[in-house]
Amino acid sequence: MVLPVQHPGEYRVERSCGIAAIFAILSLIVSLGLLIPAIAVGVRRLHDIGKSGWWLLLAFIPIIGAIILIYFFIQPSEPRTNDWGPEPGGPSNPAQTFE
């Protein structure tokens, strides 16, 4: 059995590299396609609790930023109209809907 000799500086491209490249490109496209909606949802949630969307930049602070954002995201919405509009869930008092 004779094995092919590869000389220094000579690179072989195999078929599996083509499949990996296609998968990498598709992954990049999907990731970029989901990035904008993810940012929009985060900003909208921060607006629901009365915070500016700029707070989303905390995500760039490792660990601590993520913990602070998770805390913000689990807070209930403001029960009143804030700077960005009315409460998204409607009035918190169901009796107000019949007035």
Give pLDDT tens digits for 1-15: 655 666 666 666 555
- Judged by DSSP in three states, 82 sits in strand
Percent pLDDT > 90 in the chain is: 49
What separation, in Å, do the N-terminal and C-terminal C-alpha atoms of the chain show?
Answer: 89
Confidence check: pLDDT of 54 > 60: yes
* Predicted local confidence at residue 3, as pLDDT: 59
φ, ψ dihedrals at 82, nearest 5°:
-110, -170
Sign of CA dihedral 45, 49, 51, 56: negative
For residue 93, what are its two tokens?
């008092």
Closest CA to 97 of 27, 89, 69: 89
**Which pTM value belongs to this model?**
0.62
Write down the mean pLDDT value for the chain: 81
